[in-house]
Amino acid sequence: MILCRRIDSPVGPLMLAAGDDGLRHIEFRENRHPADRSDWHGGDSPVLQAAEAQLREYFAGERRAFDLPLAPRGTPFQLQVWQALAGIPYGSTVSYAQLAQAVGNPEAMRAVGAANGRNPLPIVLPCHRVIGADGALVGFGGGLPVKQQLLRLEGALPGEQGGLF
């Protein structure tokens, strides 16, 4: 059984869903690829409680990495891309080309972009840290304003890194 709960956040309401094996989904109000919720039931679990607490710490600027049991479902390639997302440090960004390189398939930028767009655990698996080669904010399932807000929170918004002038 998948248990879910809605939480409020600075980027709008988030729906968290977890099974016995770990956190399965974090969904924004507007989600480009919403999950099938037919087997979701409102409830609570230690995983949902931990996810909510860690997300609150993240939004408060007190957490840079998540320590949660994760159980995303996807193809082997998607899982490989999502695992690579976990390696992008807080406050950093990478391009789709760099992410394709990280998964050992430098020619697969579009496939990496598609897998990135289907990430069921945004924020925790930080797909918001993937940007265009030219620094443009492109492709985010929760919408570009949310991506911008997350990058700003981390001090990683292209063009906004402080300087002398």
- Provide the CB-side half-sphere exposure for 8 (13 A, CA): 0
Active site residue 4: no
Q: Which two tokens stand for residue 49?
A: 């409680």
Among 11, 51, 127, 130, the active-site one is 127
CA distance to 1, 27, 70, 73, per residue, from 21 (Å): 10, 18, 7, 11
The answer to whether residues 93 and 129 touch, using CB atoms and an 8 Å cutoff, is yes
Q: Mind telling me the catalytic residues?
A: 127
